[in-house]
A and B are shown apart, each in its own frame.
Chain A
Amino acid sequence: MARYAMVLDTRICIGCHSCTVACKINNDLPVDMIYNPVTTIGPTGVYPNLHMTHIPLLCMHCDNPPCVDACPTGASQQREDGIVWVEDEKCVGCKACVMACPYGARHPNLEVGIVQKCNFCMDLVDAGEEPHCVKTCHQRARIFGDLDDPNSEISLLLNSERSVRLLPELGTEPYVFYIMD
């Protein structure tokens, strides 16, 4: 079985928001639904000794996803390969998952009355391709792959570089990892 994950290499991310647009366009999202914002921290420090980092965000595909636990309809699900997704037909738009998610990764789509989220582009992944945001990134700052495969690019990278996860204290066990400089 696979266990999918993503690494965001903030050492090379330039905050260009290309991933944001690629996701939106290819997933046909309304303008105001953003699965993967990219935030900027800084420049911090005082001119001219400065530092700046960009943090690309998306659903963390938590191993212990509070959003799934919170969902009263069973629309929110976690696949065996770790991908957390919403089955549109079952969703009633109660937003319990929105409130449960610590990462702002769930978005009510008012046009259809349901909540939607990043699903690691599971259709593409199932077809053996990379998620849109990964493919579009000129910097290759987003690395997607299978952590159960010890020889995958992502496994090798996580083994060789120090990485952190966001809000680890909440116990959600994110499968999105950040390499910071």
Chain B
Amino acid sequence: MKHKETTWGWMLAVDFFFAGMGGAMIALAGISYLFFGDALTATIGNFIGPIFVAMGAGFLVLELGRPLQAWRVFMNPKAILTFGAWNMTLAIGFGFVFASFRIASLPWAGWVWAQQITAVSSIITGLIVATYPGVLLGRHNARPFWTGPGIVSLFLLSSLLTGLAAHDLANSLFANTTNFSKLLAGLLVLQVVLWGLYIYMKCTGTTNREATIAQQWVNGDFAVGFWAILLGLGSLVPLIIYLLPSNPIMTLAGILVLLGGAWMRWMVVKSGEYRTWLPGEEFYLSRLPRGDEEFLKALK
């Protein structure tokens, strides 16, 4: 029995991952269409974007205590979650519509003005979906690891990175091109730098409680995940692969980037469990039963 004031579960991290990635994919598809001609992303990639966002939404619903009542999350216009939900819905819609312009057999395939409007809408809603988890978390004053604008850039960056990598994977798998290696490499460098900065700033940060949890990333519970998985496997290894002049394991790099992104979200969500403890609270919680005690099972 844990005191029931825990955090969001792994499904929320998965939601953030898919939604962020999908959102970025939708935005990137729009961007590549508007600014670089249509060739940079594969059709499949364009479709996968909204599918990912929808998958994210699915996980979000599953994470709910009462999934069948999910429609209710659209009801409070003042809540950022409600805004997020509406935006996600729009992004999925625009994403699909935008992707559909590639299907020549559809009657609207040639409506350029419509495609342009959807592209713009996709870019806006997609970017919001990509940024939104960071904004959501950053507003939590009570969760010292999240608090502040820093987390927004990290999530946006990671969304772009994973979205780009996903497009890249789609390209290489379905269109046999890889257009984004250099860009990905650049973003990976940025990811390493930004995370380094973020943790450093939290450690030396304004409040004790931020330092306490950030310390867990440096040399505590989250250290292996941070150094080895997020920075190592998820950033440096793919960075090296992307920088190799020509290489056969580009796919692996993409997968690693995705892995790193998912893992990062899991660790960030998990770090939210470190609330700002009230006086004496940690000791109190440590004395409560864990939940597997014999007395809880045997006694009525």
Contacts and interface: CB of A to CB of B under 8 A. Distances in A.
A31 B1 contact: yes
B7 A39 contact: no
Nearest to A54: B280
A110 B291 CA distance: 14
A96 B280 CA distance: 25
Contacts of B1: 31-32
Consensus secondary structure, chain B interface: loop
Contacts of B281: 37, 39, 57, 104
- The CB with the most chain A CB atoms within 10 A, among B5, B60, B79, B142, is that of B5
A91 interface: yes
Given A72-B79, A100-B140, A101-B142, A92 B276 contact: no
A127 interface: no
Given A32-B4, A107-B4, A73 B65 contact: no
A102 B76 contact: no
Interface of A: 30-34, 37-41, 53-55, 57, 66, 69-75, 90-96, 98-110, 112-115, 166-167, 170-171
Interface of B: 1-8, 60, 63-67, 69-70, 72-76, 78-82, 84-85, 139-143, 272, 275-276, 278-281, 283-284, 288-289, 291, 296
Give the 8 A-B CB pairs with smallest separation, nearest first: A93-B65, A39-B280, A102-B142, A113-B65, A72-B81, A32-B1, A73-B72, A72-B73
18 contacts: A32-B288, A39-B279, A71-B79, A71-B81, A72-B85, A73-B75, A91-B65, A92-B65, A92-B66, A92-B72, A99-B140, A102-B141, A104-B278, A107-B4, A108-B6, A109-B65, A166-B279, A170-B142
